[in-house]
Chains A and B, each alone.
Chain A
Amino acid sequence: MSKSLTLKLAVNGASHELTVEPRVTLLDALREHLGLTGSKKGCDQGQCGACTVHVDGERVLACLTLAAQAEGRAVTTIEGLTPEGADLHPVQAAFLSHDAFQCGYCTPGQIMSAVACIKEGHAGSDAEIREYMSGNLCRCGAYPHIVAAVRQAKEVMS
């Protein structure tokens, strides 16, 4: 297990080379090795959604993905949701205006999920948004505001 791998990861449009053990998860690679701490660790066992990132445009739990599995695929984190210096993404703007978070810890995962939820076509109604956003837990209880934010962002994005 001590044998290391050299991986090339494409994260937020930039290429990174890192040498890690094969058991390092994508989440720990991002947070501990690449300094991208926007993706959060809430449970490390795929139950809370705080670590949600996009891999090739689809939402993925970074804590249940080995870094090695992401090689050759495009990883997007909250830090890369919009180009540097650009305005907020419509989902981010909607989260801010609807106060769709409190402590902010689940928020990057909620936003990455929401962007994917809209792109998947799963934001057609409030009930559908609730169902397809239920993989992301929020203990502060921002759910009604998250639904409102996703609804608004969907309008802006379509």
Chain B
Amino acid sequence: MTTDILPAKVKRGDASDGGASLGSRLSRIDGPAKITGAARYALEHHPEGLCHAVIVQSTIGAGRIGVIDTAAADAAPGVLMVLTPDRIMPLKSATTWLDTPGPDGPYLPLTNMINFVGQHVAAVVAETFEQATAAAALIKIYYEETDAIATYDDPRSGEGMALDHLAVSWGEAEEALAEAPVRIEATYRTPREYNVPIEPHGLVAQWNGDKLTVWEPSQWINGMSRTYAEWFGVPYENVRLVSPFIGGGFGSKAFALAHGAIAACAAKMLDRPVKLALTRPQTFTAFGGRPATRQTLRLGATEEGRLVSIVQTGANETSRDGVWGEPLASVTALMYATPHLAARQTVVPVNTVLPSALRAPGENPSAFGIECAIDELSYEVGIDPVAIRLLNYAEEDPHAKKPWSTRQLREAYEAGAKAFGWEKRTSEPRSMRDGHHLIGWGVAAGTYPVRRTAGEAMVRLFADGRAEVASSGIDMGQGTYTILAQTAADAIGLPVDQVEVKLGDSALPGAPVAGGSQLANLMTGAVHKAALAARDELIGLAIGDPNSPFRALQANTLSVADGVISSPRGGEEVSIAELMHRLGRDKIEVLRDTLPETNNSAAEKHRTYTTITRMRSPTEGDYSLHAWCVHFIEVRVDEDFGTVRVSRVVSALDSGRLYNPKLAESQWKGGIIMGIGQALLEEGLVDRRKGRVINNNLGDYLIATNADIPDIEVISVGVPDFHASVLGGKAVGELGIVGVAPAIANAVYHATGKRIRDLPITLEKLIE
């Protein structure tokens, strides 16, 4: 890979030097491949003999399949195989990401029992994609249908199951609330939301004997490899998962899913490589997005606006066959100092696919509740929305009772308010207008925890003086390639364009899931460690090897900069390539991991990279580790039509040290933009009769387009946080979206005087 910016000679290690060191605004090094079409994504691999699979999904929400008539499909041109629940090979049940046993086996990726509309029920494999698609349409399925519960608004769905592990309480919340001079209560709702990465899910699967190669977009190479291996009962090492480029994931590409099992089964049964691409509509039910959530918040406060109690009850939808808890108290129990708090929640099973992770699961809907509620309280007691947040500022983690490692949230309010011009705001709703447009200014804060898992990295120095970094960690656009090249270049003392980074392949050293905004911090730590060790080995050879030109200097150490080795005592300067030549070495190779030295066996590494059991909580240790942000947002609401446009955004964010501000800002803005879509557009519409998601395409499930998005100003207020990570960074990718929707809802209230407490904020809710 090449870079478009040459490294500077003088490196200060921050954005001011304009060079390529960590902290500088280097353009992404995988960029040239992406802008020329050379980057090869999973479905663009065409092994010899490739055939094509197309999936058929259920059209009822509950019941069982009576008869599947495949006669016409079996006989259709080009068809190689029609898979049905009765024909697919049974697989072994795989363990979960928590390292617990899966459901009782066997695992059947196609089943006769139907739990939701859009469940995979059959698949056709044919010589061409067109033949498979045509034959799939010929399959006739006769169902024995039973009643489906479409949503948790159906009274038959009941109260659901309590999730005790998500309950939080301290003090005497109900009593304190009852005695509070000021009380407010409101219910906030978010609909089903979908990840919709622009690259749909799919894979190419190929068997060679008992070895499986899978080209599939993956946020978690090692975790998904483990699942494939367990399904097919082959050793972990027999599965090769390759995913150097991923066309977006946002939480949806971390697990091996049923369609992957189907493709791998078909490839095994046919002994041919199989490509299976989900259609865009199928992606709405092949995996779950964020579940619908509702939460009732009761806030008690003094007449001055100081919180005395928060009581929250929440619920989210889950599927009939699994539990996905969307932690609704994650921000409620963290953001503000309150002496009393009680939060509990349930999950309500309905006939849907199992929900899953979508950008900031938990924090996102949690912030929508508490950040709207605190705004409502500010109006109840008559103080400024920023002022009430500062009045209730949590000086320490109110739940864990530990000091923050760093919390630049005050600085974020100050910097954001100043850049936005908040002091010019008039507080009364409907008090700012521009012709037909009601203007609203809203504010809300957000947070995301620092999650920590160990990783490992290989660093190689070659005879030509170039270096290579290798890891199974992935880059789906966060900038992993770039920041790891920068990390290695800094640690070794090389120009960054002399570093090649290889990612996204299970044959490389292991990494945990690229989720929870943890990958950049853990992988820079691992690469930094490995690269320093490679540099030490290089210097050791330069000092000690009989053939080294530095041997006569009797130096204790040497410096390496821009690929050149020199001694502080002067004398000859020698390039790394020249030294390697004189030493007769073809490479230096160093593998390092960041597991505890007392517990780094092969089995422990495997567990670390293939499960989440070794992920440390943000409050393990002496500090509470979190990233923070504040969004200031202006909306313009057409008074006659109720249309809402976001016209200005200023966000101040504390992600600690930024390894590459250019790329971090892109992620922040991407989160903010997804938040604008969430606030105004995104909603999975569910047919109340059968539970079908009726807007299962990109024309009807609306995500933000270019025309929906104004200029966005992001301000970094972070400082390096070495409690949080080796090189001082905190969470980036999931932070930006948290707090955007409540800032917009608060701005809409300021503009119109109407509180919209259920997302998205659409015109009919404003003009009714």
Contacts and interface: CB of A to CB of B under 8 A. Distances in A.
Interface stretch (B421-429, B618-626, B703-711): B703-711
B545 to A, nearest CB: 41
Contacts of A134: 705-708
B301 interface: no
A152 to B, nearest CB: 14
B698 A143 contact: no
B277 A2 contact: no
B5 to A, nearest CB: 9
A58 interface: no
Interface in B27-65: 27-28, 30-41, 43-44, 46
Interface of A: prevailing SS: loop
Given A37-B44, A92-B35, A142-B670, A130 B707 contact: yes
B642 interface: no
Nearest to A112: B37
Contacts of A23: 130, 134
B37 A147 contact: no
Contacts of B671: 141
Name, among B41, B197, B666, the residue most crowded by chain A CB atoms within 10 Å (CB to CB).
B666
A150 to B, nearest CB: 10
Interface string A124-144: 001001110110111111111
Nearest to B711: A144
B759 interface: no
B4 interface: yes
B668 to A, nearest CB: 9
A88 B35 contact: yes
B699 interface: yes
B199 A47 contact: no
B669 interface: yes
Given A2-B77, A37-B37, A43-B280, A143 B704 contact: yes
A149 to B, nearest CB: 10
Interface string A61-79: 0000000000000000111
Contacts of A107: 34-35
Given A48-B698, A99-B662, A102-B666, A38 B705 contact: no
B720 interface: no
Nearest to B195: A139
A56 interface: no
Contacts of B313: none
A96 B27 CA distance: 7
A144 B712 contact: yes
Contact of A139 (B41, B130, B248, B710): B248
Contacts of A142: 666, 669-670
B279 interface: yes
B250 A99 contact: no
A40 B198 contact: yes
Interface string A24-45: 1000100110011111111111
Interface string B176-207: 00000000000000000001111110000000
Nearest to A78: B37
A103 B30 CA distance: 10
A141 B677 CA distance: 10
B697 interface: yes
A77 B43 CA distance: 18
B198 A141 contact: no
Contacts of B669: 141-142, 144-145
B129 A28 contact: yes
Name, among B476, B670, B712, the residue most crowded by chain A CB atoms within 10 Å (CB to CB).
B670
Interface in A101-122: 101-108, 111
Interface string B465-489: 0000000000011110000000000
B403 interface: no
A131 B707 contact: yes
Contacts of B674: 139, 141
Given A42-B280, A145-B666, A21 B709 contact: no
B198 A42 contact: yes
B31 A48 contact: no
Interface string B248-284: 1110000000000000000000000000010110000
Contacts of B197: 103, 105, 139
Contacts of A41: 43, 200, 277
B198 A48 contact: yes
Given A102-B478, A104-B477, A105-B198, A143 B697 contact: no
B50 to A, nearest CB: 9
Given A95-B35, A102-B670, A130 B130 contact: no
Given A40-B198, A77-B37, A79-B36, A31 B250 contact: no
A27 B406 CA distance: 50
Contacts of A42: 198-200, 247, 280, 698
A31 B200 CA distance: 15
B348 interface: no
How many chain A residues sit at the interface, stated as a range, is 35 or more
Name, among A81, A101, A146, the residue most crowded by chain B CB atoms within 10 Å (CB to CB).
A101
A60 interface: no
A1 interface: yes
A39 B128 CA distance: 19
B706 A146 contact: yes
B697 A45 contact: yes
Interface string B70-81: 000000011000
A9 interface: no
B666 A137 contact: no
Given A1-B77, A47-B699, A38 B37 contact: yes
A123 interface: no
A39 B199 CA distance: 12
Contacts of A36: 37
A97 interface: yes
A47 B27 CA distance: 30
A50 interface: yes
Given A136-B706, A137-B705, A144-B712, A44 B27 contact: no
A143 B706 contact: yes
Nearest to B660: A99
A103 B666 contact: no
A139 B134 contact: no
A46 to B, nearest CB: 8
B139 to A, nearest CB: 17
B198 A21 contact: no
Nearest to A111: B35
B78 to A, nearest CB: 8
A79 B27 CA distance: 21
Contacts of A44: 279-280
B496 interface: no
A24 B130 contact: yes
A99 B479 CA distance: 11
A53 to B, nearest CB: 11
Nearest to A101: B34
B666 A105 contact: no
Nearest to B52: A32
Contact of A96 (B31, B128, B200, B476): B31
Given A102-B478, A144-B710, 14 more contacts: A41-B277, A42-B199, A43-B200, A96-B31, A103-B197, A104-B39, A105-B248, A108-B37, A126-B711, A137-B698, A141-B670, A142-B666, A145-B666, A146-B706
Q: What are the 6 closest A-B residue pairs judged by CB atoms, nearest first? A: A38-B37, A102-B477, A105-B247, A104-B34, A141-B673, A141-B670
30 contacts: A2-B78, A23-B130, A28-B129, A35-B46, A38-B37, A41-B43, A47-B280, A48-B280, A81-B36, A88-B32, A88-B35, A99-B31, A101-B477, A102-B666, A103-B246, A103-B476, A105-B41, A105-B248, A108-B35, A130-B709, A134-B705, A138-B198, A138-B706, A139-B674, A140-B477, A140-B666, A141-B670, A141-B704, A142-B669, A143-B706
Interface of A: 1-2, 21, 23-24, 28, 31-32, 35-45, 47-48, 50, 77-79, 81, 88, 92, 95-97, 99, 101-108, 111, 126, 129-131, 133-134, 136-147
